[in-house]
């Protein structure tokens, strides 16, 4: 059993903890929180050992009546692998802590790429992370694009990709974010940072990206154009993408016209928190004109990186050398593709 510590029990951390718990070969060593807020009480209620990560140590938790097992140092010492899910920029500050305890660490997409030895996406480069000390699971948007580009690049070759990312203004719990009544070019600079981030996974893919922000908390939506090095039919592309376990081609018959219905669908299906772990590609949007492929996909920012973190844990541990085996184990345990 791999003992996995989760440092930062927020939007991503709580999902990663539940996903670790669902795996047959992993257990949650504990989770750490800086403040004893509602997420700390949820961690406690779910039976996760709680560790204090704030400057005031365990005292605020004692005051709130929440038992802690120790501090984040004790958690790192007790873990075979740590998943750092603290807010962007904090992970880099924690890097020395993990190195001091010689505990392999996984960082998130809010960190700069140089926080870790490599930028990770299970479908693209699992094997490069085997036995690494550190890896960075790329952001939700980069994960969504990497999963899509990997099979297209292998089968058809990619001459050039152009993507417009229509991004959610904030997560449901991020009450300070927006916009609430506007459509923003964000960032205004072109290309946006997403293209270079994809190149940390695929240095050989020529990709330009433009970002926007809109008033929704549901999901991101990507408008994708990939110029391929060959000219497949749209049907062949649909078949290729359908065979990928973390790509869901939304059939026209479901009548799903946007992220709202997608989330409703996964909530109705009984998924935890209504999470959508897969890229959701509108099947009718898959169009090929000469060697240009076009499609729309929706990405659930709170969820798609979760299975990737599980695979990254296996890769860093070195215990599962085969990417396909790790991916299918993760998918089976979470119910991905069902
Ligand atoms: P979050 O704010 O929801 O959660 C972070 C948690 O870490 C909170 O519980 C916070 O109390 C805790 N924390 C803060 N400082 C800490 C510290 N010093 N030590 C331990 N815990 C601390 O953030 P999030 O949305 O889960 O993002 C985490 C990382 O995942 C970021 O790098 C982010 O860029 C990345 N990410 C986020 C999303 C998303 O849409 N939310 C998607 C993909 C990747």
Going from the first residue of the chain to its last (338 residues), give the mean pLDDT of each consecutive group of 10, the final group possibly shorter: 97 98 98 96 97 95 97 98 98 98 98 98 98 98 98 98 98 95 97 97 98 98 98 98 98 97 97 98 98 98 98 97 98 94
Ligand 1 atom closest to Cα of residue 13: 26
Q: Over the chain, what HEC string results? A: CEEEEEECCCHHHHHHHHHHHHCCCEEEEEEEECCCCHHHHHHHHCCCCEEECCCCCCHHHHHCCCCCCEEHHHHHHHCCEEEECCCCCHHHHHHHHHHHCCCCEEECCCCCHHHCCCEECHHHHHHHHCCCCEEEECCHHHHHHHHHHHHHHHHCCEEEEEEEEEEECCCCCCCCCCCCCCCEECCCCCCCCHHHHHHHHCCCCCEEEEEEEECCCCCEEEEEEEEECCCCCHHHHHHHHHCCCCEEEECHHHCCCCHHHHHHHHHHCCCHHHCCCCEEEEHHHCEEECCEEEEEEEECCCCCHHHHHHHHHHHHHCCCCCHHHHHHHHHHHHCCCC
User: 């330009």: which residue's tokens?
Assistant: 208
Does the C-beta of 2 come closer than 6 Å to ligand 1?
A: no
In this structure, the residue with its CA closest to atom 11 of ligand 1 is 34
Measured CA to CA in angstroms, residue 232 lies from 121, 124, 152, 156 at distances of 26, 22, 10, 8
> What per-residue confidence (pLDDT) applies to 337?
86
Does the C-beta of 28 come closer than 6 Å to ligand 1?
A: no
Measured in angstroms, how far is the CA atom of residue 241 from the centroid of ligand 1?
Answer: 31
Ligand 1 atom closest to Cα of residue 93: 18
Phi, psi of 227 (to 5 degrees): -85, 115
Measured in angstroms, how far is the CA atom of residue 153 from the centroid of ligand 1?
Answer: 32
- Hey, what CATH topology would domain 2-138+305-334 get? Rossmann fold (3.40.50)
Does the C-beta of 76 come closer than 6 Å to ligand 1?
A: no
* Conformation bin of residue 131: beta by default, left when phi > 0, alpha when psi is -120 to 50: left
Beta carbons within 10 angstroms of residue 23's beta carbon: 21
How is the chain split into domains, by residue range? 2-138+305-334, 140-299
Peptide bond before 58: cis, by omega within 30 degrees of 0?
Answer: no
In this structure, the residue with its CA closest to atom 23 of ligand 1 is 87
Instruction: Kindly indicate whether the ipTM for this predicted assembly is greater than 0.95, answering yes or no.
Output: yes
Measured in angstroms, how far is the CA atom of residue 174 from the centroid of ligand 1?
Answer: 11
> What per-residue confidence (pLDDT) applies to 338?
79
Q: Do residues 8 and 78 touch, judged by C-beta distance below 8 A?
A: no
Ligand 1 atom closest to Cα of residue 35: 11
Interatomic CA distance for residues 308 and 15, integer angstroms: 12
Q: Please list the active-site residues.
A: 140
Pairing outcome for strands 207-214 and 158-168: parallel
Answer whether CATH 2.30.29.30 is correct for domain 140-299: no
Does the C-beta of 32 come closer than 6 Å to ligand 1?
A: yes
Does the C-beta of 302 come closer than 6 Å to ligand 1?
A: yes
> What per-residue confidence (pLDDT) applies to 320?
96
Does the C-beta of 10 come closer than 6 Å to ligand 1?
A: yes
Q: Which of 281, 280, 278, 338 is nearest to 306 (CA)?
A: 278
Q: How far is CA 81 from the centre of its chain?
A: 17
Measured CA to CA in angstroms, residue 328 lies from 91, 109, 176 at distances of 28, 23, 38
Measured in angstroms, how far is the CA atom of residue 110 from the centroid of ligand 1?
Answer: 8
Mutate to test the pocket of ligand 1, among 66, 79, 82, 86 (most ligand atoms within 8 A of CB): 86
Phi, psi of 337 (to 5 degrees): 85, 0
């Amino acid at each position: 059993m791999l003992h996995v510590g989760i440092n930062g029990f927020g939007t991503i951390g709580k999902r990663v903890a539940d996903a670790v718990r669902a795996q047959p070969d992993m257990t949650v060593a504990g989770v750490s929180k800086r403040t004893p807020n509602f997420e700390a009480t949820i961690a406690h209620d779910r039976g996760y050992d709680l560790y204090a990560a704030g400057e005031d140590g365990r005292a605020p938790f004692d005051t709130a009546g929440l038992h802690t097992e120790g501090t984040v140092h004790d958690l790192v010492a007790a873990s075979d692998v740590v998943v750092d899910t603290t807010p962007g920029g904090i992970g880099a500050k924690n890097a020395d802590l993990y190195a001091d305890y010689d505990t392999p660490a996984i960082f998130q997409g809010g960190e700069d790429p140089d926080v870790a030895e490599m930028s990770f996406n299970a479908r693209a480069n699992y094997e490069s992370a085997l036995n690494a000390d550190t890896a960075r699971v790329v952001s939700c948007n980069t994960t969504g694009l990497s999963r899509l580009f990997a099979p297209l690049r292998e089968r058809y070759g990619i001459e050039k990709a152009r993507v417009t990312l229509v991004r959610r203004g904030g997560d449901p719990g991020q009450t300070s974010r927006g916009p609430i009544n506007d459509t923003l070019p964000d960032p205004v600079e072109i290309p946006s940072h997403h293209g270079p981030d994809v190149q940390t996974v695929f240095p050989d893919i020529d990709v330009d990206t433009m970002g926007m922000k809109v008033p929704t908390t549901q999901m991101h939506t990507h408008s994708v154009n990939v110029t391929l090095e060959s000219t497949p039919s749209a049907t062949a592309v649909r078949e290729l993408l359908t065979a990928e376990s973390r790509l869901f081609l939304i059939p026209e018959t479901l009548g799903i016209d946007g992220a709202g219905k997608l989330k409703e669908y996964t909530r109705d299906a009984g998924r935890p928190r209504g999470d959508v772990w897969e890229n959701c590609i509108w099947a009718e949007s898959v169009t090929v004109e000469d060697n240009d492929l076009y499609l729309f996909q929706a990405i659930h920012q709170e969820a798609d990186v979760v299975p990737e973190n599980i695979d990254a844990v296996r890769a860093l541990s070195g215990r599962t050398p085969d990417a396909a085996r790790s991916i299918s184990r993760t998918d089976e345990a979470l119910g991905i593709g069902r």
